[in-house]
Structure 1
Amino acid sequence: MDLLLIKMAMHTAVYFIWRERNERWHGAGHHPYIHLIAVIDRTIHHHITALCYQDKDKYEALQDRWCRARQ
């Protein structure tokens, strides 16, 4: 379960950092780091919520673990 969270967090962070770099490179401005953290957190939360619809029992524990890890 923790390995899945680590993979999700890593993939999401890499994607949004790459996206931020691209926006800066192409002159679209930039966001403060706190905004990136919030977007990454919200994206992972939404992804876990979407997984809960497929197998509720299995992914509710994942959702609880993510909420505890954020605090």
Structure 2
Amino acid sequence: MIGTMSLTTRRELLNSVRQRYENADWIDKGRVLDGFAAATGYERKYAIRLLNTDETTTAPRKRHASQKYDEQVEC
């Protein structure tokens, strides 16, 4: 279950399983995925997304600046 495993532990598990998942063939990927999903409590599709993304290349999302209006637009 997710509640029993800390976020740090789940991230460590993800990093250790990611390489094994990447190098596995199609049948073994299913087995690795089943074990990872069972251990973390993640849904399979979310676990696939996590295992297929490289954490070093993902950048945090940038927030857009709030829109500014001049006095003519304000009522």
TM range (shorter): 0.3 to 0.5
**Bigger helix fraction:** 1
TM-score under structure 2 length normalisation: 0.35
Normalised to the residue count of structure 1, the TM-score between the two structures is 0.37
> Higher Cα Rg: structure 1 or 2?
2
